[in-house]
Structure 1
Amino acid sequence: MSTTSTNHYSSIIIGAGQAGLATSYWLSKQNIDHLILEKSDCIAPNWRSQRWDSFCLVTPNWQCQLPGMPYSGNDPDGFMVKDDVIAYLENYYRYTRAPVFFNSPVNRLEKNGGRYFIETPTRQFIADHVVIACGSYHLPNILPAATAMPDHIEHIHSSNYKNSEQLPAGEIMVVGTGQSGCQIAEDLHLKDRKVHLCVGTAPRVNRRYRGKDVVNWLDAMNYYETTIDKHPEGDNAPNATNHYVTGRDGGRDINLRIFAEQGMQLYGRLKRCDAAVLQFHNDLATNLNYADAVAKRIRDSIERHIQENSIEAPADDNIDSDFLPYHCEQLDLNQSKITAVVWATGFSSDYSWLKLPVFKDNGQPIQSRGISPEPGLYFVGLNWMNTWGSGRFYHVGRDAEHICNAIAASLQQYKTG
């Protein structure tokens, strides 16, 4: 590793998003010297570059609980829009006075003689402990079918979508119905663009039930305190698709059946593209029914909580739909008016720079609440590291504190020898 300068720190954090800043907060509380390496030239670059113009959180503002600076505004039950999220993180950066070294992407991380060696384009760093806080959404996924589509079709990943105006005139296909796919489909729909939506297996949830946001009910039921070892899907919990809903315009349901009634064309999952003809799985009804069943299961659990605790709550005013849209198993793009496809098909991880045997066969880190099998190496900010809120503003600070306590214990053990 030939570099221009070498610096040694007790701990180095990789990534200056909410996970990295929360970790820095707790390390500072314990007077542990550290540095954050951030690949970009600003705080939380993904919030700036990988969110569309109308983006807002789907969780209420009161769940923004970064350590030392929980939400203190006058709209706890509202939903921060993109610029407010960025401002919250910028304010948190100033509040924590986190030592961030910008424009420092990590090219290589390896271990030698009990210490970690970190290479950036301009410097080499040495650390006794390293915290990986750069998430797991690194490389956009686009399905192989894209390469077989006609040349006149424009392709864009959801991370690059900003608004309907950036897309060519004509009809738009959105592939994927996780939170991003559904919200982008709604954004286009509200702009009177004809939307073709490939519906996957994501569940949905009602925004409100019996007078409260469903998130408030679930919090009162201690759902968000459930740890991964108690999760029904166990170790697969981090791979589970989030329920689609929106915080837009004060928050509301996203119901794909109602979109279909209003003119949106729904399909099953995209199977392949042959000679410009798209083939779809025959699972549209199954996927819509599954989403409805999950929403009902959540409502039923809240209803039991209300009855068991004799809680006074107004009658439910949610409007559901049993509309079953026409199922089409194939579509010739050359005979359609579709001009662009938005690929809301998620991301894959890229830890190729991390030269240590700490990954499962699927490429995901091996860790237990952020503690890896490699002494001194930690992860924070991943989905379901401990609870549902591990990768979110709600509980990321808890996991960061847990990791920092482990670092402090390691340092104390070293001192006492």
Structure 2
Amino acid sequence: MTQHHEVVVIGGGQAGLSISWHLTRRGVDHVVLERDTIAHEWLDSRWDNFTLVTPNWQCALPGYSYAGDDPHGFMKRQQVYEFVRGYASSFDAPVREGVAVTSVRQSMHGGYELDTTAGTLHAGQVVVAVGGYHIPTIPRFAEKLPATIQQLHSSQYRCSADLPVGDVMVVGTGQSGAQIAEDLHLDGRKVHLVAGNAPRVARFYRGRDCVAWLQDMGHYDVPIDDQPGGLGKRENTNHYVTGRDGGRDIDLRQFALEGMSLYGRMIDVVDGTMTFAPTLEASLDAADAVAESIKDSIDAYIEREGIDAPLEARYVPVWRPEHEQTELDLAASNIGSIVWSVGFRTDYGWLRVGVFDGEGHPCHNRGVTAVQGLFFLGLPWQHTWGSGRFAAVARDAEFLADRIGVRVRDTAAA
């Protein structure tokens, strides 16, 4: 490879490509290093029936946006993959596929030294665009489960047919967990769902997608510093909803009516017995409360702006647990597999620059670190709700490109 670039971008997904588009327009020498292939995560880490939960019209990258015939629909896995790859082709992004970065460190001569699987190179500036979800998380007590039960992380799940016969347990009710439970349920599998503290949101309300209402309300433009809880927002679980079959609510109570077994938070596995906290009812009520509070905000906006929108009755819970099951004898159950959907942890061990907090998260302000010339892009809640999604990565990329450009000019003038 060329031994020096003014900017090296690490990661060839939508974030890395977005900053590449801005650098290309500015004439800044750069290369994008992708350890696998462009947008591979959309195929390699999503299930077969995956769809976006945000509408297609919100898919707008710098200089490129959704141009299909279903702007209010939800792209499927293959469509998202092709959308991102099409973006890279649209401006001939300088991506080196199959090049993994194994080490980044500051150079004693200024800038950064990068060790890669294709050799060592120097960069004046580095943009880390590898997202915030690196290593799948599985709790240690999973080691106590019988070897007869197949275990996999949500990022490894593809379809119901791949799992062994028997019931399936899904642990976690964030976006992936709730949608995988739905996928299995629709395929006729008996599902045991362990509910966490994820909130939910209605798909549609008063004639429109809730995302459209919230977009008009400016909800997605509020910086994290102005959000309740501030930076703590980065640890929040996403609301569960689905874009499947044109989009609809995910109602765990309705699933229970249809035969799905629901449990509270999983605690441990002891002597072949799985134990749960009696938190199910509280979790369901809290998720519903969030969904209804969002409707309250939409109602207030409609009234404030004098918008003519149809009225809609509020949600009424269709099921409540008569009693909460806190133990499950695994030997007596028919569970043949467990899908763990309990998140990821970060892995920046290769980035040997002092920009991390005690939990291994990068310290930054809108992606700008305290170390000159080192930036992050595409992190969850990097600046706003949409930072880790298609919704706002374009804005974040432009913000960083402006700062990179200033440093390029200053360096050239020195």
In which range does the TM-score fall when normalised by the shorter chain?
A: over 0.9
Q: For the Cα contact (< 8 Å) 1:209–1:317, is it kept in 2?
A: no
Counterpart for residue 40 of structure 2:
45
* Cα shift readout 1:36-65 (whole Å, capped 9, x = no counterpart): 11000x211111100000000000000001
* Cα shift readout 1:65-93 (whole Å, capped 9, x = no counterpart): 10101112221110000011011011101
* Cα shift readout 1:187-245 (whole Å, capped 9, x = no counterpart): 00001100000000000000000000000000111001101111112011111110000
Shift, 1:317, TM fit:
5.6
Q: Of 396, 399, 410, which aligns to 1:399?
A: 396
Shift, 1:398, TM fit:
0.9
Letter in 2 for 1:389: G
Q: For the Cα contact (< 8 Å) 1:39–1:102, is it kept in 2?
A: yes
How many residues end up aligned between the 2 structures? 412
Task: Return the alpha-carbon distance in structure 2 between the equivalents of residues 318 and 342 of structure 1.
Answer: 33
Q: Of 61, 66, 89, which aligns to 1:66?
A: 61
Letter in 2 for 1:299: K
Q: Of 116, 124, 130, which aligns to 2:120?
A: 124
Task: Name the SS for the 1:156 alignment partner.
Answer: strand
Structure 1 residue 111 corresponds to structure 2 residue 76: no
Task: Return the alpha-carbon distance in structure 2 between the equivalents of residues 322 and 190 of structure 1.
Answer: 19
Counterpart for residue 78 of structure 2:
83
Q: For the Cα contact (< 8 Å) 1:208–1:318, is it kept in 2?
A: no
**Against the structure 1 CA distance between its residues 253 and 348, is the aligned structure 2 distance closer, same or farther, given a 3 Å change threshold?**
same
Aligned 1:154-165 pairs, distance under 5 A: 154-165=150-161
Is the deviation greater in 301-310 or in 245-254? 301-310
Task: Return the alpha-carbon distance in structure 2 between the equivalents of residues 232 and 243 of structure 1.
Answer: 16
Task: Name the SS for the 1:197 alignment partner.
Answer: strand
Task: Return the alpha-carbon distance in structure 1 between the equivalents of residues 338 and 72 of structure 2.
Answer: 34
Aligned 1:369-388 pairs, distance under 5 A: 369-388=366-385
Counterpart for residue 341 of structure 1:
338
Task: Return the alpha-carbon distance in structure 1 between the equivalents of residues 257 and 270 of structure 2.
Answer: 29
Aligned identity (percent) is 46
Structure 1 residue 33 corresponds to structure 2 residue 8: no
Task: Tell me the TM-score normalised to structure 2 length.
Answer: 0.98
Q: For the Cα contact (< 8 Å) 1:24–1:98, is it kept in 2?
A: yes
**Against the structure 1 CA distance between its residues 242 and 46, is the aligned structure 2 distance closer, same or farther, given a 3 Å change threshold?**
same
Counterpart for residue 195 of structure 1:
191
Task: Return the alpha-carbon distance in structure 1 between the equivalents of residues 229 and 160 of structure 2.
Answer: 37
Task: Name the SS for the 1:334 alignment partner.
Answer: coil
* Cα shift readout 1:85-104 (whole Å, capped 9, x = no counterpart): 01101110100211111111
Aligned 1:11-410 pairs, distance under 5 A: 11-40=7-36, 42-113=37-108, 114-316=110-312, 320-325=316-321, 326-410=323-407
Task: Return the alpha-carbon distance in structure 1 between the equivalents of residues 103 and 385 of structure 2.
Answer: 30
Q: For the Cα contact (< 8 Å) 1:199–1:267, is it kept in 2?
A: yes
Task: Name the SS for the 1:48 alignment partner.
Answer: helix
Shift, 1:388, TM fit:
0.6
Task: Name the SS for the 1:292 alignment partner.
Answer: helix
Shift, 1:277, TM fit:
0.4
Task: Return the alpha-carbon distance in structure 1 between the equivalents of residues 383 and 244 of structure 2.
Answer: 28
Shift, 1:394, TM fit:
1.2
Shift, 1:322, TM fit:
4.2
Task: Name the SS for the 1:311 alignment partner.
Answer: coil
CA RMSD of aligned residues (A): 1.0
Shift, 1:416, TM fit:
2.8
**Against the structure 1 CA distance between its residues 346 and 52, is the aligned structure 2 distance closer, same or farther, given a 3 Å change threshold?**
same
**Against the structure 1 CA distance between its residues 237 and 89, is the aligned structure 2 distance closer, same or farther, given a 3 Å change threshold?**
same
Task: Return the alpha-carbon distance in structure 2 between the equivalents of residues 74 and 254 of structure 1.
Answer: 25
Is the deviation greater in 141-150 or in 11-20? 141-150
